[in-house]
A and B are shown apart, each in its own frame.
Chain A
Amino acid sequence: MTNAIEVENLTKYYGNLLAVDHVDFQVEQGEVFGFLGPNGAGKTTTQRMLTTLLEPTEGRIRMLGHDLAQDPVPVKRKMGLVPEESNVYTELTAWENLMFTARLYLVEPGERRQRARDLLETFGLWGKRDVKVEDFSKGMRRRLSIAMAIIHRPTLLFLDEPTPGLDAQSTRTIRDLIRELNAEGTTIFLTTHQIEEANQLCDRVAIINHGRIAVIDTPEQLKAAFRKVQSVEVALEPDGQAHGESLKALPGVTHSVKMGDKWRLYTERPSGLLPEVMDYARAHDLEVVSLSTLGPSLEDVFLEITGQEIGAVRHETGESEDRKPGARGRRGGRR
């Protein structure tokens, strides 16, 4: 399989600050490639270099067979970009935004109107085509921003945090669209904090930390390499919340995290911990409302590699939890 993107020794300094540190990776044509990393790790800097918005200090980028530094225009014609902020023109209507982008990307006049109509219908915006975008919700702007990025049928699409802050319906629409585009052959470069999103969508993920690629692999291979972060999740009644310290003291539990009305108990041997939990419930006359074992999630892998605290990531994935004081990161995520 040929590579859509080949990055060699890519480096970016801002003054004396090293933002991206001699990075190498390849993205195969037709794959969804996830680019994960904590804040400040170098994700957006890397993506901006790949999309020609930022000049690398060192290194080489080949994209769709072209050297990006030599003549970027042919590559740009085949590239779509959805930045983190929906950079649509709020003073224009949805239709005008699409027509502007289509003209900019030299879409033939006959095709551009039909393509704009198809996209507006796909994204549920056809009825709002003549409404100025300043009256659009965040989700509608996001959908329009993506429609603008694909109006010229790019073979390579860059998406920077496509779904944070969107409602469930918009999120699902966008994720389905990413799958459809990929099924049609579009290579997707997905920069995201949404680890579960990467898990669901990506063929491979790269985790970047402190400007360096820490690991690149498929989500399942990454998870398989981190079996030590398996867990048992239990909900007890009555007053299951009061038993956290006792559950944490059960044999084999390395640490515990409160997950809403449940406790997640991390262990290297979930099968050995299950009877311990049942015995504890019986001994204290508690009802086991739910009990399940969980393998390591991609979020666990991410936390393990980046050394992030779980609270930071949990907030970004939209879940909530009361992290116990001192409960160091590397702890579970719902799969």
Chain B
Amino acid sequence: MKQGIVSRLMDEVTQAWTVAVKDIKVYYLKPGMIMFGFMMPFFMFFSFSVRREMAAAQGVARLLALTTFFTAASTGPFIIPLERRLGTYDRLLAAPMSLLSLLLGKIAVGAFFAIAVSIVALAVGVGVFGATVVSPGFLIAGVILGSFSFSTLGLIFGSIPTRNPGDVQMPSTLLRWGLLFISGVFVPLAEMGAMARALAYVSPLTYAQDLMNHAVLDRGLLNPWVDLMVLLLGCGVFLVPSLLMHRRSRRLGY
């Protein structure tokens, strides 16, 4: 058996990756994942964009923010309660790995899914609507950081001590919809009043949307590096409630 901190870290990374690959095989093609993770952001986009005058680039920036957000945040609330109900989550909790590694594996599942769906969205935007990307670097960084940050956000709901996915879906959907309307996705930040804008700054989606605006439209309200820092910070900050709720679950027996 491997010894030492470095080899232990390598073991943990291997195990987190193993969990992620397993989840990708098991869950990516589940109807619930396709519905909430893949189709929902496109539905949302078309529902709020059809019959509105909007440049292709603006639409692509919006669609990218929507896909990273909705797709990444949908996996945690879908997978973990389902695994708790089926008893397979116990298999992971009993495995010789830290809780942090397990959660990082779960976060990666949502993030990879969101990145893949965002690539589809980008391909549609560029290929079908002829949009162009002004800052590919910000776009790539935004999609990756946004996907990980929102996947970590979704994990908070997946960490609620319950074996019933329905108990999790409702609050997570409420939060996602709520954030959607305060984050400058459908109403640009620049057009918001002072109170609404102050509220928008609380939402991590605001920074993802602003970063996509920088990357595709070459105009955003905030500094793009601030957007990136907030998304990066979100990856860490959103992990804390998940860790705490898992510890609570262990006390309660879920």
Binds A, one of B87-95, B183-191, B194-202, B237-245: B87-95
Q: What's the minimum C-beta distance from B17 to chain A, rounded to whole angstroms?
A: 9
Binds A, one of B70-78, B152-160, B171-179, B246-254: B246-254
Q: Is the CB of B86 within 8 A of A87?
A: yes
Beyond A89-B88, A91-B25, whether A55 also contacts B18 by CB under 8 A is no
Q: Nearest A residue to B8 by beta-carbon distance? A: A73
Beyond A87-B86, A106-B11, A106-B15, whether A96 also contacts B95 by CB under 8 A is no
Q: Is the CB of B15 within 8 A of A104?
A: yes
Q: Is the CB of A53 within 8 A of B18?
A: no
Q: Is the CB of A14 within 8 A of B253?
A: yes
A79–B247 Cα distance when bound, in Å, is 21
Q: Is the CB of B93 within 8 A of A83?
A: no
Q: Is the CB of B252 within 8 A of A14?
A: yes
Q: Is the CB of A53 within 8 A of B25?
A: no
Q: Is the CB of B96 within 8 A of A92?
A: no
Size category, A interface:
20 to 34
| Interface set, chain B 137-164, CB cutoff 8 A to A | none
Size category, B interface:
20 to 34
Q: Is the CB of B26 within 8 A of A73?
A: no
A106–B101 Cα distance when bound, in Å, is 14
| Interface set, chain A 271-290, CB cutoff 8 A to B | none
| Interface set, chain A 19-42, CB cutoff 8 A to B | none
Q: Mark B216-254, 1 if CB is under 8 A from A, else 0.
A: 000000000000000000000000000000010011110
Q: Is the CB of A79 within 8 A of B94?
A: yes
A68–B26 Cα distance when bound, in Å, is 31
Any B CB within 8 A of the CB of A157? no
Any B CB within 8 A of the CB of A182? no
| Interface set, chain A 68-89, CB cutoff 8 A to B | 73-74, 76-77, 79, 81, 83, 85, 87-89
Q: Mark B53-94, 1 if CB is under 8 A from A, else 0.
A: 000000000000000000000000000000000111011111
Set of chain A residues within 8 Å of B22, measured between Cβ atoms: 89, 92, 100
Q: Which one of A54, A83, A96 lies within 8 Å of B250 (CB-CB)?
A: A54
Q: What's the minimum C-beta distance from A329 to chain B, rounded to whole angstroms?
A: 29
Q: Is the CB of B251 within 8 A of A55?
A: yes
| Interface set, chain B 1-60, CB cutoff 8 A to A | 1-2, 11, 14-15, 18-19, 22, 25-26
Q: Is the CB of A105 within 8 A of B95?
A: yes
Set of chain A residues within 8 Å of B251, measured between Cβ atoms: 54-55
Q: What's the minimum C-beta distance from A86 to chain B, rounded to whole angstroms?
A: 8
| Interface set, chain A 34-65, CB cutoff 8 A to B | 45, 48, 51-55
Set of chain B residues within 8 Å of A45, measured between Cβ atoms: 253
Beyond A92-B25, A104-B19, whether A77 also contacts B253 by CB under 8 A is no
Set of chain A residues within 8 Å of B90, measured between Cβ atoms: 53, 81, 83, 87
Beyond A91-B26, A92-B26, A100-B22, whether A105 also contacts B96 by CB under 8 A is yes
Q: Is the CB of B93 within 8 A of A52?
A: yes
Set of chain A residues within 8 Å of B11, measured between Cβ atoms: 106
A103–B17 Cα distance when bound, in Å, is 10
A148–B88 Cα distance when bound, in Å, is 12
Q: Which one of B2, B247, B250 lies within 8 Å of A53 (CB-CB)?
A: B250
Q: What's the minimum C-beta distance from B12 to chain A, rounded to whole angstroms?
A: 9
Q: Nearest A residue to B23 by beta-carbon distance? A: A89
Q: Is the CB of A73 within 8 A of B97?
A: yes
Beyond A14-B253, A73-B97, whether A89 also contacts B18 by CB under 8 A is no
Q: What's the minimum C-beta distance from A46 to chain B, rounded to whole angstroms?
A: 12
Q: Is the CB of A48 within 8 A of B253?
A: yes
Q: Is the CB of A54 within 8 A of B253?
A: yes
Q: Is the CB of B98 within 8 A of A100?
A: no
A100–B18 Cα distance when bound, in Å, is 7
Q: Which one of B19, B94, B247 lies within 8 Å of A51 (CB-CB)?
A: B94
Q: Nearest A residue to B95 by beta-carbon distance? A: A104
Q: Is the CB of B98 within 8 A of A106?
A: no
A81–B96 Cα distance when bound, in Å, is 12
Set of chain B residues within 8 Å of A87, measured between Cβ atoms: 86-88, 90-91
Beyond A52-B94, A76-B96, A104-B19, whether A85 also contacts B87 by CB under 8 A is yes
A72–B192 Cα distance when bound, in Å, is 52
Q: Nearest B residue to A84 by beta-carbon distance? A: B87
A104–B23 Cα distance when bound, in Å, is 13
Set of chain A residues within 8 Å of B2, measured between Cβ atoms: 106
Set of chain A residues within 8 Å of B86, measured between Cβ atoms: 85, 87
Q: What's the minimum C-beta distance from A148 to chain B, rounded to whole angstroms?
A: 8
Q: Is the CB of A73 within 8 A of B96?
A: yes
Sample (20) of A-B pairs whose CB atoms are under 8 Å apart: A14-B252, A14-B253, A52-B93, A54-B250, A54-B251, A55-B251, A76-B94, A76-B95, A81-B90, A83-B90, A85-B86, A87-B90, A87-B91, A89-B22, A91-B25, A91-B26, A100-B22, A101-B91, A104-B18, A106-B15
- The 4 A-B pairs at the shortest CB distance, nearest first, are namely A87-B87, A76-B96, A77-B96, A103-B18
Which residues of A are in contact with B by a Cβ distance under 8 Å?
Answer: 14, 45, 48, 51-55, 73-74, 76-77, 79, 81, 83, 85, 87-89, 91-92, 96, 100-101, 103-106, 148
Q: A51-B94, A76-B97, A105-B96 are in contact. List 18 more A-B contacts (CB 8 A).
A: A48-B253, A53-B250, A54-B251, A55-B247, A73-B96, A81-B90, A85-B86, A89-B88, A92-B26, A104-B18, A104-B95, A104-B96, A104-B97, A106-B2, A106-B11, A106-B14, A106-B96, A148-B91
